């Protein structure tokens, strides 16, 4: 034994090399460098200016130019809910409902319980025949802003398409109570027998 110990002391080999790879202790993974998730203040400011310009262009009917500006704004600040919402409205106007839904979803995620992105997404869902998804958004929107006539009217349309006459009638009734001369809500209420 002593001879073996003396013989091993003179050797210069790694005893770890005798352990199979699968049995060796693993090194802890190195922490990844933090991703750049923060947007610079300069980018936020520029994105806000581009969003305002895009909104102005959209109001004047220059949707192609507005879309370009919204794209630039979102490129600078992907957390710009106004730019996402504005871009979604343009997509919706062009019947590009899948793109609109994606932007409405992002805007809604950045501003939970805000009615406009929920209503916009529900409208695109209805255009695509995804009535259950639309109804879910409209339920949430009606809770967020129970005084919004458009939400109640659109909710009535969604439930009417789902065949739920009771919920449709309740929604149309609420819309008429808020705005008695709302023709869409009144005709919807007449259709479902409310």
pLDDT digits (tens, 9 = 90+) for 143-176: 999 999 999 999 999 999 999 999 999 999 999 9
Contacts for 170 with CB less than 8 Å, ≥ 6 apart = 194
- The model's confidence at residue 193, banded by pLDDT at 50, 70 and 90, is confident
Residue 37: the pLDDT is: 55
Contacts made by residues 7-12, CB under 8 angstroms, sequence distance 24+: none
pLDDT digits (tens, 9 = 90+) for 10-42: 443 343 444 445 444 444 434 333 344 578 999
Q: What are phi and psi of 93, to 5 degrees?
A: -65, -25
How many residues appear in the chain?
194
Residue 10: the pLDDT is: 42
pLDDT digits (tens, 9 = 90+) for 47-94: 999 999 999 999 999 999 999 999 999 999 999 999 999 999 999 999
Residue appearing with tokens 């110990």: 5
CA 71 to chain centroid: 16
Sign of CA dihedral 144, 123, 121, 46: negative
Which segments of the chain does DSSP mark as H helices, in order?
2-10, 41-59, 63-76, 81-93, 97-110, 115-127, 131-144, 149-162, 165-178, 183-192
Residue 11: the pLDDT is: 40
- The model's confidence at residue 138, banded by pLDDT at 50, 70 and 90, is very high
């Amino acid at each position: 034994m002593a001879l073996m110990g003396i013989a091993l002391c003179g050797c210069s080999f790694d005893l770890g090399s005798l352990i199979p790879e699968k049995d060796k202790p693993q090194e802890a993974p190195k922490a990844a460098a933090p991703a750049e998730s923060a947007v610079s203040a300069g980018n936020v400011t520029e994105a806000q200016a581009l969003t305002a310009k895009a909104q102005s262009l959209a109001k004047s009917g220059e949707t192609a130019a507005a879309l370009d500006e919204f794209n630039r704004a979102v490129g600078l600040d992907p957390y710009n809910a106004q730019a996402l919402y504005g871009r979604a409205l343009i997509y919706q106007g062009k019947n590009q409902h899948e793109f609109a839904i994606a932007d409405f979803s992002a805007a809604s995620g950045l501003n939970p319980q805000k009615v406009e992105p929920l209503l916009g997404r529900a409208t695109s869902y209805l255009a695509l025949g995804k009535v259950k998804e639309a109804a879910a958004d409209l339920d949430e929107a009606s809770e967020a802003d129970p005084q919004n006539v458009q939400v109640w009217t659109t909710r009535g349309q969604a439930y009417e398409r789902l065949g739920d006459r009771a919920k449709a009638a309740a929604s149309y009734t609420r819309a008429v109570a808020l705005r008695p001369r709302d023709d869409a809500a009144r005709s919807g209420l007449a259709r479902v027998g409310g």
